[in-house]
Amino acid sequence: MRIDCSRSVERRASFGLRLRRATQSLLPVTDGGPSMKWLSPILLVSATFASANHELDNRNLVSGQTLYTNNCASCHGAKLEGQPNWRSSNTDGVLPAPPHDATGHTWHHDNGLLFEYTKLGGKGALAARGIANFNSGMPAFDGVISDEDIWDILAFIRSTWPKRQQQFQKSVNPPH
């Protein structure tokens, strides 16, 4: 079982992908480029998601980076590179820590899941979503790092992604 298979996340993610593919197919790949009349309905749909990332906006990225180094880098890597062979479970059935950079799947998830995964840990976050007894290597930081500090860390992580991943992550957030 993989944490990125949570149904609702997957549904939203695949919607985002479809949206992106639809957008990409209209982007100027040919000499002439598309006319704006084709793009405008797509941009309208995107606009409904454009303001959905507010917890991560205007954060203290310097503090987020320091907190990341002190609390997360031991597993997720000093350069957010994750642990080797992170897609395969260890012999004890626990997954290694995934990268938080663009090669991982952190950017596939909405703000709520990233926050809960950090605060409640993997086991707690999945239990809260009805998936019991998941043997997670991700510890809970509830009582260790404040909510505001968790958002700073997540905002720092987001700040390292290229624009494309940032836009995608924004699109999987339900409007709120």
- Asked if 72 interacts with ligand HEC (CB under 6 A), we say yes
Choices 8-16, 24-32, 39-47, 90-98; region in contact with ligand HEC by CB under 6 A? 90-98
Contacts of residues 117-121 at CB distance under 8 Å and 24 or more positions apart, as own/partner, are 117/3, 118/145, 118/150, 118/153, 118/154, 119/147, 119/150
- From 16, 49, 56, 76, residue interacting with ligand HEC (rule: CB under 6 A): 76
Distance CA 151, CA 169 (A): 15
- Pick the stretch among 8-16, 36-44, 58-66, 72-80 that binds ligand HEC (CB under 6 A): 72-80
Residues numbered 100 to 139 that lie near ligand HEC (CB under 6 A) are 100, 104-106, 109, 114, 117-118, 122, 136-139
**Beta carbons within 8 Å of 151's beta carbon, 6+ residues apart:** 55, 56, 59, 115
Residues found near ligand HEC in the complex (CB under 6 A): 3, 71-72, 74-76, 94-98, 100, 104-106, 109, 114, 117-118, 122, 136-139, 141, 145, 153
